[in-house]
């Protein structure tokens, strides 16, 4: 399995399932709205959209998106099991920014959770549904999502093996609503890794691993 990050909350997961070799799942493609150019002409088997804001739902980046999933439910795509769980984009039950879908993806014996633009600490019932996380993609730039302190609280509840921070200010991003990575790293206490262009895992390779925060380098295409 290989994971790449394009910035914001936009990820590409490439995996070999029993049904398909080279299965490609994309999550939250952004549009050209804050100065960073999105990749183009992508081809995937599935695109998962956590909410409809333009920096999370740009299907124009795809020559062929495959199956588009943007609602809670249970899905199977190319041998990957995908669950979408309803949450909120704020801490007022969606009254300010609406809903958000958390995606739980299981493929190659790896459980990946993408929290989208979650704006609150999940309830105990939601934590139980998410539990057993191998790789957690979590927003850390505050603004319209959880604060760095709440992000750390979520991480402590879920105890993932790998934490990938997302949705924070990166070079070229002209938006004023996101903080940088430093506040989260100070709150978390561990971010001492060099940025990675991609992450690669083998089935079972995360077993027994201690928690690690991995900083990723945004890719162009």
* 148 domain residue, yes or no: yes
pTM over 0.75: yes
Degrees, nearest 5: CA angle 171-54-216:
35
* 174 domain residue, yes or no: yes
* 69 domain residue, yes or no: yes
pLDDT single digits (tens) 83-101: 999 998 877 777 777 799 9
> For the chain, how many structural domains are there in total?
1
Residue burial 29-68, b: 16+ Cβ < 10 Å; e: rest: bbbeebebebbeebebbbbbbbbebebbbbeebbeebbee
* 218 domain residue, yes or no: no
Q: What is the mean pLDDT of the chain?
A: 91
Q: What number is the average pLDDT over the span 103-127?
A: 94
The CATH number of the domain where 98 resides is what? Answer: 3.60.15.10
Q: Which two tokens stand for residue 177?
A: 């609503």
Q: Mention every residue, 6+ apart, whose C-beta is less than 8 A from residue 4.
A: 11, 12, 14, 197, 198, 216, 219
- Minimum mean pLDDT among 47-51, 94-98, 169-173: which range? 94-98
* 220 domain residue, yes or no: no
* 96 domain residue, yes or no: yes
* 221 domain residue, yes or no: no
* Domain span holding position 172: 2-213
* 219 domain residue, yes or no: no
């Amino acid at each position: 399995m290989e994971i790449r990050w394009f910035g914001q909350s936009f990820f590409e997961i490439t995996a070999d399932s029993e049904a398909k070799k080279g299965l490609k799942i994309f999550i939250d493609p952004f549009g050209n709205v804050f100065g960073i150019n999105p990749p183009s002409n992508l081809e995937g088997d599935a695109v998962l959209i956590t909410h409809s804001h333009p920096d999370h739902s740009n299907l124009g980046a795809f020559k062929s998106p495959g199956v588009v999933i943007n609602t809670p439910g249970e899905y199977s795509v190319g041998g990957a099991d995908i669950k979408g769980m309803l949450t909120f984009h704020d801490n007022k039950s969606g009254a300010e920014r609406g809903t958000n879908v958390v995606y739980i993806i299981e493929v190659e014996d790896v459980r990946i959770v993408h929290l989208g633009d979650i704006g609150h600490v999940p309830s105990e019932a939601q934590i139980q549904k998410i539990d057993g996380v191998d790789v957690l993609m979590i927003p850390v730039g505050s603004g319209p999502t959880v604060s760095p302190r709440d992000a750390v609280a979520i991480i402590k509840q879920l105890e993932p093996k790998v934490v990938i921070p997302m949705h924070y200010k990166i070079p070229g991003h002209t938006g004023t609503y996101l903080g940088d990575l430093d506040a989260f790293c100070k709150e978390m206490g561990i971010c001492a890794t060099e940025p990675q262009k991609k992450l690669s895992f083998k089935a079972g390779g995360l077993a027994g691993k201690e928690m690690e925060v991995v900083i990723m380098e945004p890719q162009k295409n």
